[in-house]
Structure 1
Amino acid sequence: MRKTNKRAVPQRPIAAAILAVAALHASIAMAGDDDHRGHDRDNNHAHAIKHVMLISFDGMHEQDVARCIASNTCPNIALLAKDGTTYTNAHTPGLSDSFPGLAALVTGGSPKTAGLFYDVSYDRTLYSPSDSNCTGPQGWNVVFDETTGIDAKNGGALTHLDGGGAFNPQAIPHAKVNGVCKPVYPHDYVKTNTVFEAIKAGVPNARTAWADKHAWGYDWLNGPSGAGVDDLMRTEINSIDPKTQTDYTDVYTHTEVFDDLHVQALINQIDGKDSAGTASAAVPTLFGANFQTLSVAQKAPVAKSGGYLDASFTPGTQVSAAIKYVDASLGRIVAELKQRNLYQSTAIVVTSKHGQSPADHSKLVKNGDTLSKLLQTNNYLDPNGNYGQNATKSGNLNDGTGLVNTGFAQTDDVGLIWLRDQHQLAQVVKTLKDNLSCNAPGICADGPYAYLLYGPRMTAAFGDPREGRTPDIIVQPNPGVIYTSSTSKDAEHGGNAPDDNHLALVVYAPGGKHAGGTVNDRVLTTQVAPTMLNLLGVDAKRLHSVVAEGTQALPGFDGDHGHDHDRDHDRD
């Protein structure tokens, strides 16, 4: 494979933050599925790749892969890289929370088209869960996290691994669709289709599967059809483990117990069973899982051997052990593929939804949520914090009793602001600009890599806030800033800091044509989705986000690469 050694051109901070997103937003009309009927697979030919597996080791940076391969501490990732292609310059499209991070991988789109900005966000067009007639005020804090399962109803304890086995009706808002008031489940909330739907439409008798960290919040992977994933494993990482009486995020070794469930699910599926291993099922055409162990180790306080030792991503004790764990997990999965004679017909993508910031602990700043406090103090949001999850009348999170039309601020190592009154945009921006320093009451966004995004640049990159879903303002603070006073974590994600968005990406495709290849061109994780479809001989234009944003497959996988069946219809 052609090896490239292109160097990224230095960019101004704000331009660098949005260029990758804005550059891909092409004004291309949506293509209907009917235009692609019969164009995806020529069934008169044998197709070498029958399955694609997507693995997200959340938090894994490109630097983690480079270091562990060089030090021989991740032999299974190294073998996959030797057999495949490593992308050294892969980035998320503007935001790095789990929702937009995974949406990039499975829709081919940024938040502008997929409509997912965070698992906890805001939508001005929605009605409250209790407003089943859509007659009250609009504007709802959408919370699709661990509280989306029925266990959380009325603030209940998360006692079941499967989240209680159903949706929490108090977490499901309403929308008026063609004059009819309807509930908005997570699969209704995502604005475009997913690779799971596209593959089921493009591959006869295709089966799909996925496992993630929240049992019901990740229902959006089904896509607007509500049926994209045949085997969506319902596992809740924040449920209480009866053996420890804690959830699975308290320490990385406990997270391994949770992630082992996903390893076993993949092994079961490779063996011709469902994720639970209780029923026979065809090996999925597209399947995969999310893993949280590394992310938990990265967030752990440096004082407790979490995180990294320096700016060079030298792993601390917990991160080092977590990388060994995820590598061994990959080894178990690949070994099962080989045992079942599936390795030569299964493409594997190893990447991450997001990174973690900061790796360099000396840059860590935790002054509390100064951004929300500044907004409250100036009455742009309720001065007493009565908005978002804190606005519930009962005091229980996400139980449907919240206030409506309050505006919202979502903060981690980024700030997403939905104003209570959009007419105050200019005034709010001035207040923020007047308080950029790290000194009280400043928001610590005065460095060369910090920026405020709003107005026409926001619309170009993420959509028009006036349509209801897009934040009015995004605040990217100085890299290393986390809007919290918590002592339980020294790293976070969600924003567009370098440690957030520069991710691991290794693609193995059977056949060896690209074995050992390294691509240094800048790519986006949105390019994974059309790549997976190309590998299976499915027209990538089945994905609405791919059409809308002009998303291309990854270099080396954007055309015919040695398979027998006719791919002419996949290239225009």
Structure 2
Amino acid sequence: MSIPFRYALPSGLIAAAVLAACGSNDNSNPGTPAVASGIANAQHVLLVSIDGMHQQDLANCVAAKTCPNIAALAQTGVTYSSASTPGLSDSFPGLAALLTGGSPKTAGLFYDVSYDRTLYAPSDTQCAGPQGWNVVFDETTGIDAMNGGALTHLNGGGGFNPQAIPNAKVNGVCTPVYPHNYIKTNTLFEVVKSQMANARTAWADKHAWGYDWVNGPSGKGVDDLARTEINSIDPTTNSDYTDIYTHTEAFDNLHVQVILNQIDGKDSTGATTPGVPTVFGTNFQTLSVAQKATNASGGGYTDANFTPGPQVSAAIAYVDGAIGKMVTELKAKNLYASTVVVVTAKHGQSPSDHTKLVKNGDTLTALLEANNYLDANGKFGQFSTTSGSLNDGTGLVGTGMAQTDDVGLIWLRNPAQAAQVVATLQANLSCTSTGICADGPQASILTGAALVAKFGDPAQGRTPDIIVQPNPGVIYTSSTKKDAEHGGNAPDDSHVGLLVSYPTLQAATNTATVSLTQVAPTVLKSLALDPSLLHSVAAEGTQVLPGLGF
């Protein structure tokens, strides 16, 4: 039995706020005239993800004039008031949507921590043992984490942690699976490099080696991939950069400088001058950290209308100032007139309304363990290593796993038990000490044919057997350090901001329902390239964003 996901529509008030701030030209209806001008002759695309930025954040800051630089971009841009993530809202599927035009069904990225039944352990270099590996491509993908080591270097140690790299049989040969091998489809970086003479590409993100997948299957899509690790220890504070949003600003500032260097024709380090990238970009973590911070400490929002608390207000102001620096530099180098700027978010954050927050512990995993669907003592995958750290080379094989945040992704030890597991879940929907908090109208249990249609067939190895969406506001944790999370399909996770700006566009708000997957083909179209060269675009029929005059 499967209960389909339900989507919450954006409120009319939000759409109205953006319309008031950005102009009333609505291009979402067939009867409405198209914009008088559109994107043409673009030479560069700058893509910026403000992780955690809801559409409501974008609308509210523009209306309140607290993000003047983003508002200025909106004056020559189309704001999409109903943009959503592709069914899951973790950083991996969100960024994959932006770079491939595909959902997890074709891109194969469900989370930075996932599972694949076809893979062998990193130590099994002959692919002779059991299959089924808990794949972890995060801060521990860098060599610093080898044998559970401390993350002492900003560049993650300067290479891959071999204990993080599983193996697969490829044409009968046991082959290492790096992150770029793990993604199942090509990226826009690869298309741009193959189709445009002398094109350069660049990207900067939060994990130095886990984000290697942005290179695409060729492993060569990004010419200048900045290797920066947000979870590395900052020697000036003896903590990583996620402890408080003001510290995260220091990390994000590294990426601001990367972009400024690249606008100036330099590489990310500023050491060489290879020229301005054709497609480049980065993400910001400051807002996400501020949103997760406890409400009592000034994190998150003060009400159900996304009124920002002190930390979120400061984070939005910081990011806006950072984008302002990028735009100023584009203008100084006479590049602004030929550069498409996309401002969006890989994911939102849930819940925004603190009164809906439920931290009931990881009751979902506990229920699976109690019924022996996963090991009763939690000894499965990377949850059972010698050091207690992920990717130390001693994780267990063939165990199945559960990945939980404000969603539950379940790869069963025995897929034949799927119907039995669903029955157990449905018998424990209530929000009790043993229930999974999925008894409300916006909760769901996705499995069977509906799951296959949306996310692919679990029998192929990568797709979870079951996806549980708990009630909005539920986080499967007992942590006292955070009051919000992401990863699932709750409204606050999935309804994200999206703005496409170009000097020849007229200010408009487009109310059509769109997906982050539509950004990738739009980027290619703006550079006069064929969007169908992206394999996920061809497979899923992904369309370019409307209202841009193509």
TM tier, smaller: over 0.9
- The structure 1 residue matched to 2:201, chosen from 203, 208, 215, is 208
Hey, what does 1:457 align to over in structure 2?
A: 450
Hey, what does 1:300 align to over in structure 2?
A: 293
Aligned residues: 520
Q: Does residue 500 of structure 2 align to residue 507 of structure 1?
A: yes
Q: Distance in 2 between matches of 1:297 and 1:51?
A: 31
Q: Distance in 2 between matches of 1:116 and 1:48?
A: 33
Deviations 1:203-242 (A, max 9, x none): 1110000000000000000000000000000000000000
Deviations 1:47-84 (A, max 9, x none): 72110000000000000011111111000010000111
Q: Shift of residue 395 of structure 1?
A: 2.9
Tell which deviates more after alignment, 381-390 or 115-124: 381-390
Q: Distance in 2 between matches of 1:215 and 1:398?
A: 15
Q: Shift of residue 261 of structure 1?
A: 0.4
- Report 1:423-572 matches (<5 A): 423-511=416-504, 514-557=505-548, 560=550
In structure 2, relative to structure 1, the CA distance for the partners of 1:17 and 1:416 (3 Å cut) is farther
CA contact (8 A) 1:418 1:471 kept: yes
Matched position secondary structure for 1:16: coil
Given the two structures, how large is their TM-score scaled by the length of structure 1?
Answer: 0.90
Matched position secondary structure for 1:348: strand
1:553 alignment partner AA: V
1:489 alignment partner AA: K
Hey, what does 1:376 align to over in structure 2?
A: 369
Q: Shift of residue 396 of structure 1?
A: 3.0
CA contact (8 A) 2:344 2:498 kept: yes
Matched position secondary structure for 2:361: coil
Q: Distance in 1 between matches of 2:126 and 2:269?
A: 39
In structure 2, relative to structure 1, the CA distance for the partners of 1:13 and 1:80 (3 Å cut) is farther
Q: Shift of residue 17 of structure 1?
A: 5.2
Deviations 1:223-264 (A, max 9, x none): 000000000000000000000000000000000000000000
CA contact (8 A) 1:13 1:448 kept: no
Q: Distance in 2 between matches of 1:119 and 1:17?
A: 24
CA contact (8 A) 1:209 1:287 kept: yes
Hey, what does 1:76 align to over in structure 2?
A: 69
Q: Shift of residue 473 of structure 1?
A: 0.2
- The structure 1 residue matched to 2:267, chosen from 254, 268, 274, is 274
CA contact (8 A) 2:232 2:240 kept: yes
Q: Distance in 2 between matches of 1:18 and 1:353?
A: 18
CA contact (8 A) 2:81 2:511 kept: yes
Hey, what does 1:33 align to over in structure 2?
A: none
Q: Shift of residue 309 of structure 1?
A: 0.5
Q: Does residue 105 of structure 2 align to residue 112 of structure 1?
A: yes
2:56 alignment partner AA: Q
- The structure 2 residue matched to 1:408, chosen from 389, 398, 401, is 401
Q: Shift of residue 439 of structure 1?
A: 1.3
Deviations 1:422-461 (A, max 9, x none): 1111110000000000012100000000000000000000
Matched position secondary structure for 2:321: helix
Q: Distance in 1 between matches of 2:60 and 2:3?
A: 27
Hey, what does 1:149 align to over in structure 2?
A: 142
Deviations 1:68-126 (A, max 9, x none): 11111000010000111100000001000000000000000000000000000000000
2:63 alignment partner AA: A
Q: Does residue 342 of structure 2 align to residue 353 of structure 1?
A: no
Deviations 1:375-411 (A, max 9, x none): 0000000000001221223433211111100000000
Q: Distance in 2 between matches of 1:389 and 1:451?
A: 27
Hey, what does 1:30 align to over in structure 2?
A: none
Q: Distance in 1 between matches of 2:40 and 2:483?
A: 47
Q: Distance in 2 between matches of 1:13 and 1:214?
A: 35
Gaps of 5+ in 1: 1-11, 20-45, 561-572
Q: Distance in 1 between matches of 2:486 and 2:480?
A: 16
2:255 alignment partner AA: H
1:543 alignment partner AA: L
- The structure 2 residue matched to 1:16, chosen from 1, 6, 20, is 6
2:78 alignment partner AA: T
1:542 alignment partner AA: L
1:516 alignment partner AA: A
Q: Does residue 419 of structure 2 align to residue 419 of structure 1?
A: no
Q: Distance in 1 between matches of 2:511 and 2:7?
A: 19
Hey, what does 2:327 align to over in structure 1?
A: 334
Matched position secondary structure for 2:419: helix
Q: Distance in 1 between matches of 2:546 and 2:44?
A: 20
Q: Shift of residue 358 of structure 1?
A: 0.1
1:89 alignment partner AA: S
Q: Distance in 1 between matches of 2:124 and 2:49?
A: 37
CA contact (8 A) 2:382 2:396 kept: no
In structure 2, relative to structure 1, the CA distance for the partners of 1:73 and 1:336 (3 Å cut) is same
CA contact (8 A) 2:302 2:308 kept: yes
CA contact (8 A) 1:309 1:360 kept: yes
Q: Distance in 1 between matches of 2:422 and 2:118?
A: 23
- The structure 2 residue matched to 1:51, chosen from 34, 44, 53, is 44
Q: Shift of residue 13 of structure 1?
A: 7.5
Hey, what does 2:14 align to over in structure 1?
A: none
Given the two structures, how large is their TM-score scaled by the length of structure 2?
Answer: 0.93
CA contact (8 A) 1:170 1:399 kept: yes
**Pairwise CA RMSD of aligned residues?**
1.4
**Percent identity of paired positions between Structure 1 and Structure 2:** 71
CA contact (8 A) 2:46 2:341 kept: yes
